Amino acid sequence: MTTRVVIIGNGMAGARLQEELHRLDPMGAQVTSVVIGDEPNAAYNRILMSNVVAGRIRPADTMIRAAGWYAERNLETHTGVRVTSIDRDARRVHCDDGTVHHYDRLVFATGSRAFIPPIDGAITETGAPIPGVIAFRNLADCEAIVSALQEDTRVVVVGGGLLGLEAARGALLRGAQVTVVHPRAYPMEKQMDAAGGAVLSRVLREIGMDVVLGTRVTAVRDTPGSGREVVLADGSTLGADLVIVTAGIAPNIELAAEADIATERGILVDDQLRTSDRAVFAIGECAQHRDIVYGLVQPGWEMAETVAQNLLTREPTGYEGTQQILRLKAHDIDLASMGEVDTDPSDLEAEVLTLSDPHRGRYAKVVVRKERLVGAVLLGNPEVVGTITQLFDSGAPVPTDRMTLLLGHLTGGATESASPAQMPGEAIICRCNTVSKKNLTDAWRKGARNPLAMAEATRATTGCGSCESVVEGLCEWLATADA
């Protein structure tokens, strides 16, 4: 008897779970999986949408697998179909196309939707944004943004977090006039401290963005003759042909709550990713694990791998959480942030080092506790990001002279661009897929002799793609060192 697993959501976590089940059990001897997703297209890499807005790739380039990949492997996927209710007693899900699917195990991978703050005139009676107001979450939103963007389009981005800044940078690259409106004193306040935020604001303005801080967009309205405008909290207005809303996300938990599965901010799960119903799991952005609801892909992919393992083995493994490192993927702005970033310099338990070079758009801060690096903000310092993330990940003791952490390139420390020979085997090269240098060198020894083959063997580079140059460097190094 095979176990029938129904996965709700054909996003990054749901599609990865199906792929992982297939990888571990290619003949479907133990498990058959069915993915039901309400988006019309096959699974795509949501992270790459910012590159589509920036004009670097086309929407089709975001597809995770080539057309036909799932069908060729007999993987059942229903796209454009929404699960509307769950009958847990009968173990069935009901869909909006009238279909009903039986399950032995059910997995919620319903992700999040864009949160739209209260803005008068922005929402129709059905709750959808009016034309010209787009919440940036899915490929349809991305395509709508791209088709609305032209030279000199007046764009207002509501929210200066990671998504807002990536969308704003992309729109600027297409020649639009862009204003970011953010309610706090500086952008990305969850990942930056005030001093770093001030340097970031300066960098954004220098590349041509208007950044309006400490206020909110309260209304969107048509103006006779000149299109549309947004109204700010102080009553001032900004002309806006296009309003992109990137004001946060809300996990999709309603379907679970209606089925009486325990939810708080997300769907509550234990270390095996089981919900309050032992036959039902939740992974990705809809799950709340150890009180954390994640907003990045790496945790969702790790959760998918844990569930796949557990569905196929009698010895379950546990998911223990993911150390989050955030990197902004915007042309000309290199920003990495991890762990504690807003520690008070007078905190006697912590060592806080900062280096500020606003003129050149650079800022670096590291926080050390008990000889371990527990937080960092690195703006405009790509050369030290590799060393700092390795120390953050591994919990290894930091150098006696802490200053070398900030000045890695001057003192000969291992850096992102330094020889791969210097990296320890456990250094994580691809964060999205949690692939270490050792995983890559093992793949090399098994015959993966170029970045493409390494991606096929380990999945490195297939997330946000920011590790591509490191994987290329590693291949070049191995070609000479391990010929």
Ligand X SMILES: Cc1cc2nc3c(=O)[nH]c(=O)nc-3n(C[C@H](O)[C@H](O)[C@H](O)COP(=O)(O)OP(=O)(O)OC[C@H]3O[C@@H](n4cnc5c(N)ncnc54)[C@H](O)[C@@H]3O)c2cc1C
Site for ligand X, rule CB under 6 A = 8-14, 36-39, 46-47, 49-50, 82-83, 109-112, 136-137, 163, 252, 255, 284-285, 295-298, 300, 329, 464
* Residue whose CB is nearest to ligand X in the complex, by number: 11
Q: How far is the CB of 82 from ligand X (least distance, A)?
A: 4
Distance CA 310, CA 317 (A): 6
Report in angstroms how near the CB of residue 111 gets to ligand X at its nearest. Answer: 2
CA distance 200 to 203: 5
Closest CA to 107 of 128, 118, 91: 91
Shortest CB 8 distance to ligand X, Å: 5
Query: Helix, strand, coil shares of the chain as percentages rounded to 5?
Result: 30, 30, 40
Among residues 110 and 441, whose Cβ is nearest to ligand X?
A: 110
Residue 264, token pair as written in the block: 């708080």
DSSP code of residue 231: E
Contact 363, 201 (CB under 8 A): no
- Select 191 or 343, whichever has its Cβ closest to ligand X: 191
Nearer to ligand X, 10 or 434 (CB): 10
Q: Which helix (H) or strand (E) holds 303?
A: helix 297-312
Cβ closest to ligand X, residue 99 vs residue 236: 99
Q: Which is nearer to ligand X, 228 or 274 (CB)?
A: 274
Nearest distance from C-beta of residue 472 to ligand X, angstroms: 20
Write out the two tokens for 255: 């379907």
For 132, phi and psi rounded to 5 degrees? 95, -10
CB of 49 to ligand X, least distance (A): 4
Residue count of the chain, please give it.
Answer: 483
Please, which residue, 431 or 437, has the CB nearer to ligand X? 431
Q: Least Å distance between CB 163 and ligand X?
A: 5
Q: Maximum CA pair distance of the chain?
A: 70
Choose among 11, 41, 50: nearest CA to 327: 50
Round to whole Å and give the CA distance between 429 and 443.
Answer: 14
Q: Give me the least distance between CB of 135 and ligand X, in Å please.
A: 10
Closer by beta carbon to ligand X, 197 or else 295: 295
